[in-house]
Chain A
Amino acid sequence: MNIEIKDLHFTYPTGLEALRGISLTIESGEQVAIVGQNGAGKTTLVKHLNGLLQPTQGQVLIGDWDTAKYSVAKLARRVGYVFQNPDEQLFSKNVGAEVAFGPRNLGFDSERVQALVKDALALTELADKTDTNPYDLSVTWRKMVAIASIISMDTDIVIFDEPTTGQDAVNIARISNVIAELRKRGKTVITITHDIDFCAENFERVIALSQGKILLDGRAEEVLGQEEILATTYVDPPQLTRLGKRLGFTKTVRNQAEFLAALEK
């Protein structure tokens, strides 16, 4: 299911022009990271994908659905959205009920709901916490509950807004695993992130936004090497990319394996 955004403009009621002409296509099964400074329009952009915001001008298509013609509830069948702050999303008495809420609401039969919940809990390593109240869990685990409750809806498109914020190294690795598994399943994953190293290690395509416009859009190794342009939207290249550059490597390296291969030469 492709996503097509055509000349999207969005102005908040306050008069703030947050998006100023965005056009892009995201193909089914792509893994895309969106980067850029605070206030660049990242969250405003992705809120258009599930209808939370409607274009002031332009068009957003999710497959053959124009978001202007479908409710948020309908779009939830195609687009799952994991909020930055899990506490804005969780409300059930226990983890199992929380994760079952989405698929049940989509009207799936109870067998399918059960299977989806089981799968989502396994993927997020929550299987032993089914009966726990989400608010008795640490913020790291609440994040995983928020992720599980979206994955269980089995949407073709999954959006993560700043998944690594406030997470420790162990949980960032868990989130990377979830994204890798979604990729294997052919899901489209779109992630907003300031964690550029996480971005380099998990995403093939990177879109950099600046002041409501697309600054760069391309393969991760191309985009992340553009140090001067990225700096204009307050993004530093990944640590190993910067290191490779300063050591005079001719090729842009993104991760440990690429760095060591270049070093050995």
Chain B
Amino acid sequence: MAIVNLQNVTYKYPLTAAPALQNINLHVNEGEFVAIVGPNGAGKSTLCYTLAGFVPHFFKGELSGTVEVAGIESHDSTLSEWVLNVGLAFQNPFNQISGAKYTVFEELAFGLENIGIAREEIRARVEEAMKLTGISDLADRSPYSLSGGQQQRVALTSILVMQPRVLVLDEPTSQMDPIGTREVFGVIRTMAERGMTVVLVEHKVEWIAQFADRLIALYEGQILLEGNPQEVLTSPVLTNKGFGISRYTAVARRAKEMGLWRKEKLPVTLEQAIEGFALTSSPPSASFRDASRSPKGRGE
């Protein structure tokens, strides 16, 4: 059943001429992991704000159409009700840290204190969430003394402790090293498998193809394409519009023109690329046979 329902949503920020979102129809099922890609200025962050209720409650402006999450309509709700169902991790973690707390532990407890959760439960939830995102060792540090990547983990954790039904993440790994990115994607996937609904904005397309159930390509405030991540990310419709594509897709597209890619579908992930190029470089080398035993990406 769809927990997120956007119907004909158009939104214009105050003092701007053009709408940031135009006629968006988006339905996300409970426990689904949906990713959003698009060039800068496509409306990705605005869509996140809309899902999180900041549009229209905080940013004002003109919103038309209906935004409904967990059966409640955004217009009929207040931000303080809305946050019980939807949590947003901001693109810049610095903007999210309260500034009112001295330690990471207190920062993570802040949201729960505000909604009146009992002390012992707060402690348990914060400790569990820190363990999940791998930041237990940061508990006593000041949130401001952390690196960008660490702050991003804290920002994500501060949303996870709230246990929202819908998790909205705006480039949650932009300041992380590659291994950190992989870990965080693992955490997000786990949350989706536990039934949390995830909407994720991300430029790192190889990860999307491995982890997300569905992909939406946003362009100039509108949904340009949506569907299976591999199909969307290899579609010629995205060409020359500023969408990021994986190096695997780009090289296979070129190889296809040269007659060196023999599959119908183009790859997005490493495993998909190995599978396809192995058909070209025959007989398969010893190292390929080794490689083929490792686990495959979800995107296949």
Is B260 a contact partner of A260 (Cβ separation < 8 A)? yes
Cβ of A248 under 8 Å from chain B: yes
Interface positions of B from 73 to 118, Cβ below 8 Å from A: 91-92, 94
Complex CA–CA separation, A36 to B179 (angstroms)? 10
Contact of A234 among B92, B150, B179, B251 (CB under 8 A): B179
Interface positions of A from 44 to 69, Cβ below 8 Å from B: none
Distance in angstroms from B49 CB to nearest chain A CB is 15
Contact of B243 among A167, A169, A235, A256 (CB under 8 A): A169
Is A246 a contact partner of B40 (Cβ separation < 8 A)? no
Is B280 a contact partner of A263 (Cβ separation < 8 A)? yes
Fill in one digit per residue for A7-19: 1 if any B CB lies within 8 Å of its CB, else 0. 0000000100000
* B258 partner residues in chain A, CB cutoff 8 A: 260, 264
Nearest opposing residue in chain B for A87, CB measure: B92
Fill in one digit per residue for B270-292: 1 if any A CB lies within 8 Å of its CB, else 0. 10011001101100111110010
Contact of B147 among A38, A139, A169, A256 (CB under 8 A): A38
User: Chain B interface: which of A121-129, A147-155, A181-189, A237-245?
Assistant: A237-245
Complex CA–CA separation, A14 to B149 (angstroms)? 20
Complex CA–CA separation, A238 to B34 (angstroms)? 26
Interface positions of B from 246 to 300, Cβ below 8 Å from A: 246-248, 250-251, 254-255, 258, 260, 270, 273-274, 277-278, 280-281, 284-288, 291
Is A167 a contact partner of B247 (Cβ separation < 8 A)? no
Cβ of B176 under 8 Å from chain A: yes
Is A243 a contact partner of B242 (Cβ separation < 8 A)? no
The interface on chain A, measured as residues whose beta carbon lies within 8 A of the other chain's beta carbons, has a size of 40
Is A247 a contact partner of B285 (Cβ separation < 8 A)? yes
Knowing A84-B148, A239-B206, A239-B247 touch, does A246 contact B174 (C-beta < 8 A)? no
* A135 partner residues in chain B, CB cutoff 8 A: none
Complex CA–CA separation, A264 to B258 (angstroms)? 9
Is A263 a contact partner of B148 (Cβ separation < 8 A)? no
Nearest opposing residue in chain A for B251, CB measure: A256
Cβ of B164 under 8 Å from chain A: no
Is B149 a contact partner of A246 (Cβ separation < 8 A)? no
Knowing A38-B148, A169-B242, A170-B242 touch, does A234 contact B177 (C-beta < 8 A)? yes
* B61 partner residues in chain A, CB cutoff 8 A: none
Knowing A260-B258, A263-B281 touch, does A236 contact B179 (C-beta < 8 A)? yes
Cβ of A162 under 8 Å from chain B: yes
Cβ of B195 under 8 Å from chain A: no
Chain B: number of interface residues, binned into ranges? 35 or more
Complex CA–CA separation, A14 to B39 (angstroms)? 40
Cβ of A165 under 8 Å from chain B: yes
Knowing A166-B171, A248-B287, A260-B251 touch, does A243 contact B274 (C-beta < 8 A)? yes
Cβ of B163 under 8 Å from chain A: no
Cβ of A39 under 8 Å from chain B: yes
Contact of A38 among B91, B149, B246 (CB under 8 A): B149
Is A239 a contact partner of B248 (Cβ separation < 8 A)? yes
Complex CA–CA separation, A259 to B248 (angstroms)? 11
Fill in one digit per residue for B143-187: 1 if any A CB lies within 8 Å of its CB, else 0. 001011110000000000000000000010011111110000000
- Enumerate the 5 nearest inter-chain pairs by beta-carbon distance, A residue then B residue, closest first: A248-B285, A234-B179, A38-B149, A248-B287, A239-B247
Instruction: Identify 17 new A-B residue pairs, CB closer than 8 A, beyond the known A140-B40, A169-B243, A260-B258.
Output: A38-B147, A38-B180, A39-B150, A162-B175, A167-B203, A168-B242, A196-B178, A235-B177, A235-B178, A240-B248, A243-B270, A246-B287, A247-B274, A260-B251, A263-B277, A263-B280, A264-B260
In the complex, 19 of the A-B residue pairs with CB atoms within 8 angstroms, ordered by the A residue number, are A37-B180, A38-B147, A38-B150, A38-B175, A139-B40, A165-B174, A166-B171, A169-B244, A169-B245, A231-B179, A234-B177, A235-B178, A243-B248, A246-B270, A246-B288, A247-B287, A248-B284, A256-B254, A263-B277
Residues on A lying within 8 angstroms of B by beta carbon are 14, 36-39, 84-85, 138-140, 162, 165-172, 194, 196-197, 231, 234-236, 238-240, 242-243, 245-248, 256, 259-260, 263-264
